[in-house]
C-alpha cells in the first residue's frame, strides 16, 4: 500500500512539475528529469499493484486444481481400504474446509474415513502433516506424504507436531492428516 501511495505522490509531483515547466518553458534537461520522475512513479504504482495482488492470494482459501485432485485420487487409490482421519485446526473454518475437501478426495479414492476432529491447536501457516497411530503404519504414512509432495503440497513429518496439540488419542489402525491454518 505504501508503494502505491508513493507512486501516486510521484505522479502528482510530476504533474505539478510538468505544468510548471510547460509554463516556464525550461531547458531540455528539466524535461529529461521530468520523464525520469514520471517513470519512477509509474514503476512504483506497478510494483504496488503486483504486491497487493500477491497479498490477496495469501488470503484466499487453499484449493486443489482439477489436475491435483485427479492425481491424488489416482495415487491414493493404490492403497484403498486403508483408514484415514483428519484433524483440522480449532475454530478455523478454512482449515476445516480444507480437511473436508481432503476427506472427499480420500473417500473417492476408496479409503475408509475415521471420525473428523476439529481440535488441532498448531498455529503455523500452511501446515499439513501425516501421522500414524501405530509403527506398523509408518510405510503407509510415508506413501501418503509422498503423494502430497508429488503434487507440490508440502507435507510435514509427524515429529513436527507439538505434544498435546491435538485433542484425541491416535488409534493404532489409522493414519491422521493434521491440517493447520492457511
Asked whether residue 52 falls in the same domain as residue 126, the answer is no
Give the range of the structural domain holding residue 103, as residue numbers without chain letter.
Answer: 66-179
Asked whether residue 47 falls in the same domain as residue 110, the answer is no
Asked whether residue 53 falls in the same domain as residue 79, the answer is no
The pLDDT of residue 167:
74
Tell me how far apart the alpha carbons of residues 139 and 127 are, in angstroms, rounded to a whole number.
Answer: 21
Q: Containing H/E element for 133?
A: none
Asked whether residue 26 falls in the same domain as residue 42, the answer is yes
> Can you state the percent helix, strand and coil of the chain, rounding each to 5?
55, 15, 30
Q: What is the pLDDT of residues 10-63, one digit of tens each?
A: 666 666 666 655 655 555 666 666 676 666 766 666 666 666 665 565 567 788
Asked whether residue 163 falls in the same domain as residue 91, the answer is yes
Tell me how far apart the alpha carbons of residues 129 and 138 are, in angstroms, rounded to a whole number.
Answer: 13
Asked whether residue 54 falls in the same domain as residue 72, the answer is no
Asked whether residue 116 falls in the same domain as residue 171, the answer is yes
Domain boundary pick from 33, 59, 85? 59
Residue 23: CB partners within 8 Å, gap ≥ 6?
Answer: none
pLDDT at 179 over 60: yes
Q: What is the pLDDT of residues 68-118, one digit of tens each?
A: 999 999 999 999 999 999 999 888 888 899 999 999 999 999 999 998 888
Asked whether residue 51 falls in the same domain as residue 136, the answer is no
164: left (phi over 0), alpha (psi -120 to 50) or beta: left
Tell me how far apart the alpha carbons of residues 7 and 39 are, in angstroms, rounded to a whole number.
Answer: 10
180 touches 99 (CB < 8 A) = no
Asked whether residue 31 falls in the same domain as residue 83, the answer is no
Can you tell me the mean pLDDT for 144-150? 93
Residue 102: CB partners within 8 Å, gap ≥ 6?
Answer: 86, 177, 179
Q: Which residues pair with 175 in a beta bridge?
A: 84, 132
Domain count, the chain: 2
The pLDDT of residue 26:
53
Q: State whether residue 132 is helix, strand or coil.
A: strand
Q: Which residues pair with 177 in a beta bridge?
A: 86, 130
Q: Is the pTM of this model over 0.85?
A: no
Stronger pLDDT, 120 or 75, i.e. the higher one? 75
Taking the CA of residue 36 as centre, how many other CA atoms within 13 Å lie in the half-sphere pointing to its CB?
Answer: 6
Amino acid at each position: 500500500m505504501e508503494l502505491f501511495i508513493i507512486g501516486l505522490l510521484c505522479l502528482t509531483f510530476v504533474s505539478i512539475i510538468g505544468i510548471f515547466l510547460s509554463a516556464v518553458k525550461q531547458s531540455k534537461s528539466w524535461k529529461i528529469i521530468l520523464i525520469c520522475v514520471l517513470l519512477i512513479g509509474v514503476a512504483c504504482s506497478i510494483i504496488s499493484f503486483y504486491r497487493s495482488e500477491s497479498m490477496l492470494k495469501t488470503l484466499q482459501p487453499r484449493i486443489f486444481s482439477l489436475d491435483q485432485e485427479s492425481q491424488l485420487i489416482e495415487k491414493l487409490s493404490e492403497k484403498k481400504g486403508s483408514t484415514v482421519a483428519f484433524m483440522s485446526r480449532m475454530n478455523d473454518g478454512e482449515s476445516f474446509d480444507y480437511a473436508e475437501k481432503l476427506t472427499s478426495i480420500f473417500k473417492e479414492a476408496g479409503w475408509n474415513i475415521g471420525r473428523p476432529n476439529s481440535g488441532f491447536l498448531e498455529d503455523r501457516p500452511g501446515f499439513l502433516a501425516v501421522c500414524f497411530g501405530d509403527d506398523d503404519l509408518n510405510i503407509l504414512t510415508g506413501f501418503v506424504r509422498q503423494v502430497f509432495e508429488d503434487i507440490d503440497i508440502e507435507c510435514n513429518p509427524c515429529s513436527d507436531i507439538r505434544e498435546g496439540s491435538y485433542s484425541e488419542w491416535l488409534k493404532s489402525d489409522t493414519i491422521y492428516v493434521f491440517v493447520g491454518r492457511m
